[in-house]
Structure 1
Amino acid sequence: MFNPNELTRTALVARDRSVDWLLKHIESDGRPADCDTRTGWSRLGWSLAVAGEPAAASAVVSWAAKHRIGENGDYLPGFMEGQSYISQYANYWLGTFVVSAWMAGSFDIALRSMDYLASQQDPVYGGLPTRLDSGNHPAGICDVLSTAQVGLSALITGQLDVADKVYRWLEGLLAAQPSDGNFYMFRQGEDVWRTPDPAFAWAAIVPFNQPRQAFYGPGMAAVFLARYAHIRHRLEAIELARGFLAYNVNGTQEQFTDIESVQACKFGWAVGVMHQADPEGGWGKWLAPMMQWFIDRQAPEGWWGPSRFADPNPTFADRLVKTSEHLMEITALISALNASSFVQGS
Structure 2
Amino acid sequence: MPDDLTSEYSGIADAREHLREVRDRGVAWLLERIGDDGRPAHADEHHGYYRFPWTLAYVGERERAAAVMSWIERKTLTDDGDLRDGVARAAWTTDAATYPLTIIAQGAWVLESFDTANAVMETLRRDFVDPVTGGAYRERPEARATGYQMSFATAQLGSTALTTGQTDLADGAFAFFQRVMAAQPDLPGTLYPVWGREGLVTEFDETYHYNALIDFSKPMQAFHNPGIAAGFLARYSQMHGNAEAKALASALIALNEQGTAEQFNYAESSGICKLGLGSAMLLDIDPDPRLVRNIKRMIRWYADAQRPDGAWIHRTPNRPENPPEAFVMEKTAEHVLWLSMMLTSLARYEASMHGETAIVNQLQGRPVSSGTLNKEI
Q: Which residue of structure 1 lines up, in the alignment, with residue 334 of structure 2?
A: 325
Q: Which residue of structure 1 lines up, in the alignment, with residue 6 of structure 2?
A: none
Separation in structure 1 between the aligned mates of residue 123 and residue 142 of structure 2, nearest angstrom? 23
Q: Which residue of structure 2 lines up, in the alignment, with residue 164 of structure 1?
A: 171
Aligned residues: 341
Please state whether the residue corresponding to 1:283 is helix, strand or coil: helix
Offset of residue 43 of structure 1: 0.8
Once the two structures are superposed, the pairs formed by residues 51-130 of structure 1 within 5 Å of their partners are: 51-79=59-87, 83=91, 87-119=94-126, 120-130=128-138
Residue 336, structure 1, aligned to residue 352, structure 2: no
Separation in structure 2 between the aligned mates of residue 106 and residue 187 of structure 1, nearest angstrom? 33
Letter in 2 for 1:116: T
Match 2:238 to one of 222, 230, 241: 230
Offset of residue 272 of structure 1: 1.0
Letter in 2 for 1:141: Y
User: In 1, are the aligned partners of 2:97 and 2:140 still within 8 Å (CA)?
Assistant: no
Offset of residue 260 of structure 1: 3.4
Structure 1 stretch displaced more, 162-171 or 330-339: 330-339
Separation in structure 2 between the aligned mates of residue 63 and residue 132 of structure 1, nearest angstrom? 23
User: In 1, are the aligned partners of 2:76 and 2:88 still within 8 Å (CA)?
Assistant: no
Match 2:50 to one of 42, 45, 57: 42
Match 1:8 to one of 13, 16, 21: 16
Match 2:149 to one of 139, 142, 146: 142
Gaps of 5+ in 2: 1-11, 354-372
User: In 2, are the aligned partners of 1:98 and 1:114 still within 8 Å (CA)?
Assistant: yes
User: In 2, are the aligned partners of 1:58 and 1:105 still within 8 Å (CA)?
Assistant: no
Q: Which residue of structure 2 lines up, in the alignment, with residue 253 of structure 1?
A: 261
Gaps of 5+ in 1: none
Separation in structure 2 between the aligned mates of residue 165 and residue 308 of structure 1, nearest angstrom? 29
Offset of residue 283 of structure 1: 1.1
User: In 2, are the aligned partners of 1:102 and 1:110 still within 8 Å (CA)?
Assistant: yes
Q: Which residue of structure 2 lines up, in the alignment, with residue 217 of structure 1?
A: 225
Offset of residue 80 of structure 1: 5.0
Separation in structure 1 between the aligned mates of residue 65 and residue 71 of structure 2, nearest angstrom? 10
Letter in 2 for 1:20: A
State the identity %.
34
Q: Which residue of structure 1 lines up, in the alignment, with residue 369 of structure 2?
A: none
Once the two structures are superposed, the pairs formed by residues 24-39 of structure 1 within 5 Å of their partners are: 24-39=32-47
User: In 1, are the aligned partners of 2:276 and 2:298 still within 8 Å (CA)?
Assistant: yes
Please state whether the residue corresponding to 1:105 is helix, strand or coil: coil
Offset of residue 15 of structure 1: 1.4
Instruction: Write the deviation string for residues 162-216 of structure 1: whole angstroms up to 9, x where unpaired.
Output: 1001100111111111116321121114621122221111111111110111101
Separation in structure 2 between the aligned mates of residue 190 and residue 225 of structure 1, nearest angstrom? 24
Separation in structure 2 between the aligned mates of residue 139 and residue 302 of structure 1, nearest angstrom? 38
User: In 2, are the aligned partners of 1:43 and 1:325 still within 8 Å (CA)?
Assistant: yes
Offset of residue 79 of structure 1: 2.1
Structure 1 stretch displaced more, 117-126 or 204-213: 117-126
Letter in 1 for 2:207: A
Separation in structure 2 between the aligned mates of residue 134 and residue 171 of structure 1, nearest angstrom? 28
Offset of residue 337 of structure 1: 2.0
Once the two structures are superposed, the pairs formed by residues 245-324 of structure 1 within 5 Å of their partners are: 245-280=253-288, 282-307=290-315, 311-324=320-333
Separation in structure 1 between the aligned mates of residue 281 and residue 252 of structure 2, nearest angstrom? 14
Instruction: Write the deviation string for residues 119-163 of structure 1: whole angstroms up to 9, x where unpaired.
Output: 23211111111107999x854211102111111000000111110
Q: What RMSD in Å do the two structures reach over aligned CA positions?
A: 2.3
Instruction: Write the deviation string for residues 264-284 of structure 1: whole angstroms up to 9, x where unpaired.
Output: 011111111111122247312
Letter in 1 for 2:304: D
Letter in 2 for 1:261: S
Instruction: Write the deviation string for residues 304-338 of structure 1: whole angstroms up to 9, x where unpaired.
Output: 11117764412111110000000000011111222
Separation in structure 2 between the aligned mates of residue 127 and residue 10 of structure 1, nearest angstrom? 37
Give structure 1 regions of 4+ aligned residues with deviation exceeding 4 angstroms.
Answer: 132-135, 341-346
Offset of residue 287 of structure 1: 1.8
